[in-house]
């Protein structure tokens, strides 16, 4: 009897397909608002390497997974594959290991096997996803790109050998808040980079030169898809000014305040204007940005949310949220009690994690696992002890219990913040002065 053929990571798996749709449902519920743009740009004639920025741990990968229904293969840092059980789980989830420089230069040689396997994935029409920054950072900018993605692209181009073109697809992911659950998500796809054509157009160039060309092109395209604040020194002040002036900028540009893409356009223009003012009059600009940084510190000490600062009608916002908080209080209490195991476990795990960028990933995974189990027990109890009409109604009503907890908590937090903002006359006057400077 012949040996059983080893299953390939890219091959279809019924269990994975079912899990993917279930995970996708929970992922979509993890955000209050989601927008995807540029899906029509995805080429239908080649091998695709997706290249998103990396700011929010697992949630970035899930955002890419939701781009379309095709299965995708990912890479993750090699140290989490050390235990055999974890390695099997990651293989099932279509994730391959890759070593980073921080793991030791001697480990980089093991990446050759991953690069060869990734070329095989692409050859079999399965998109490959690699986050080229190599590590995550919850900030609105782009870290230097690693070489791995370009090595994979060039090797795949050699392996496919004219059968079809190889593309690197730039992606930009923007979150309304990196750390708040049920915030907003914007994913944009840029113009694909045709690696095959680039190599063919430059037959005399050495591979390192071609890799550098591709790196520069990908880096610039990715920066254009996100809010890229290039200066870490004045990062906080720049972001603060973007957020407080966003509504005014949108109105100035005649954009739609409800579209995440339009908010990004407005904030990108604000960043550009700040950089121009810093070049024209660096002393004045630096002084104002330092004032804004002080404004941000004072705002945070008073526990005033940027949602309140950026809201042109905080009093109306406060009144509407207070109304919702009052009439929905009984439902909130019921949802909190039922989802307590999910919420408490999420809090316990997050409280022990120094890297806050993992918090939403933890909340998502705990929600997926613990709330599913809790809900199954709840439904079984309801149908076992109540008439079916009442059981069905209660099951539907309580299905979004943990999600409603987060939403209600958000309303409460912002209502409290609106009240504090309305009472902070000094901060409101300072905001108007800063907006006049940048507009």
Contacts of 393 (CB under 8 A, 6+ apart): none
pLDDT number for residue 343: 95
Are the C-beta atoms of 154 and 211 separated by less than 8 Å? Answer: yes
pLDDT range class, residue 1, cuts 50, 70, 90: very low
pLDDT number for residue 75: 83
pLDDT number for residue 108: 54
Q: pLDDT at residue 207 above 70?
A: yes
Are the C-beta atoms of 149 and 128 separated by less than 8 Å? Answer: no
- Give residue-wise pLDDT tens across range 357-395: 999 999 999 999 999 999 999 999 999 988 999 999 999
Mean pLDDT of 81-106: 74
Partnered with residue 185 across adjacent β-strands are: 34, 175
- Give residue-wise pLDDT tens across range 148-175: 889 889 988 888 877 889 999 999 999 9
Mean pLDDT of 252-273: 96
Q: For the chain, how long is the longest CA-to-CA vector?
A: 82
pLDDT number for residue 94: 87
- Give residue-wise pLDDT tens across range 26-79: 999 999 999 999 999 999 888 999 999 999 988 999 999 999 888 899 887 777
Mean of the per-residue pLDDT values of the chain: 91
What is the CATH number assigned to the segment(s) 14-220?
Answer: 3.40.1130.10
pLDDT number for residue 3: 56
Task: Please give the Cα distance from 118 to 155 (Å, whole number).
Answer: 9
Q: pLDDT at residue 112 above 90?
A: no
Partnered with residue 186 across adjacent β-strands are: 35, 174
pLDDT number for residue 135: 85
Phi, psi of 370 (to 5 degrees): -75, -40
**125 — alpha (psi -120 to 50), left (phi > 0) or beta?**
left
Cα radius of gyration rounded to whole Å, the chain: 24
- Give residue-wise pLDDT tens across range 393-439: 999 999 999 999 999 999 999 999 999 999 999 999 999 999 999 98
DSSP three-state, residue 68: coil
Higher pLDDT, 284 or 83: 284
Domain boundaries, the chain: 14-220, 235-302+426-438, 316-423
Mean pLDDT of 318-343: 96
Task: Please give the Cα distance from 266 to 250 (Å, whole number).
Answer: 6
**385 — alpha (psi -120 to 50), left (phi > 0) or beta?**
alpha
Task: Please give the Cα distance from 204 to 222 (Å, whole number).
Answer: 27
pLDDT number for residue 109: 59
pLDDT number for residue 104: 52
pLDDT range class, residue 110, cuts 50, 70, 90: low
CA-nearest of 347, 342, 349 to 367 is 342
Q: How far is CA 33 from the centre of its chain?
A: 12
Q: Quick check: pTM over 0.85? A: yes
The fraction of the chain above a pLDDT of 70, given in percent, is 95
């Amino acid at each position: 009897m012949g040996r059983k053929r080893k299953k390939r990571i890219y091959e279809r798996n019924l269990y994975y397909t079912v899990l993917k749709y279930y995970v996708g449902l929970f992922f979509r519920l993890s955000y209050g608002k989601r927008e995807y743009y540029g899906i029509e740009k995805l080429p239908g004639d080649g091998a695709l390497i997706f290249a998103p920025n990396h700011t929010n741990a697992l949630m970035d990968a899930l955002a890419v997974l939701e781009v379309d229904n095709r299965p995708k293969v990912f890479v993750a840092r090699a140290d989490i594959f050390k235990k055999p059980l974890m390695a099997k789980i990651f293989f099932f989830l279509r994730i391959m290991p890759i070593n980073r420089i921080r793991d030791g230069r001697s480990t980089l040689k093991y990446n050759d096997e991953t690069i060869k396997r990734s070329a095989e994935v692409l050859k079999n029409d399965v998109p490959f996803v690699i986050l080229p920054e190599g590590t995550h950072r919850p900030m609105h900018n782009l870290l230097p790109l690693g070489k791995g993605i370009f090595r994979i692209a060039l090797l795949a181009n050699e392996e496919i050998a004219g059968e079809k073109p190889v593309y690197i697809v730039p992606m930009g992911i923007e979150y309304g808040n990196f750390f708040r659950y049920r915030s907003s998500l914007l994913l944009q796809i840029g113009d694909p980079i045709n690696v095959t054509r680039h190599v063919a157009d430059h037959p005399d160039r050495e591979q390192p030169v071609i890799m550098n060309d591709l790196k520069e092109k990908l880096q610039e395209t990715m920066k254009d898809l996100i809010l890229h604040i290039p200066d870490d020194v004045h990062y906080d002040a720049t972001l603060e000014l973007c957020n407080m002036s966003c509504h005014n900028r949108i109105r100035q540009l005649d954009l739609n305040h409800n579209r995440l893409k339009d908010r990004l356009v407005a904030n990108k223009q604000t960043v550009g204007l700040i950089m121009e003012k810093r070049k024209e009059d660096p002393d004045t600009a630096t002084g104002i940005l330092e004032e804004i940084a002080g404004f941000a510190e004072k705002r945070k000490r008073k526990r005033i949310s940027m949602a309140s600062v950026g809201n042109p009608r905080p009093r109306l916002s406060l009144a509407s949220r207070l109304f919702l908080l009052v009439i929905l209080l009984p439902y909130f209490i019921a949802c909190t009690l039922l989802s307590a195991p999910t919420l408490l476990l999420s809090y316990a795990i997050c409280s022990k994690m120094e890297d806050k960028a993992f918090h939403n990933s933890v909340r998502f995974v705990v929600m997926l696992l613990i709330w599913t189990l809790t809900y199954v027990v709840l439904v079984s109890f309801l149908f076992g002890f109540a008439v079916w009409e009442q059981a069905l109604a209660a099951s539907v009503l309580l299905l979004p219990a943990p999600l409603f907890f987060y939403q209600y908590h958000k309303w409460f937090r912002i209502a409290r913040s609106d009240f504090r903002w309305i009472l902070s006359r000094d901060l409101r006057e300072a905001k108007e002065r800063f907006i006049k400077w940048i507009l």
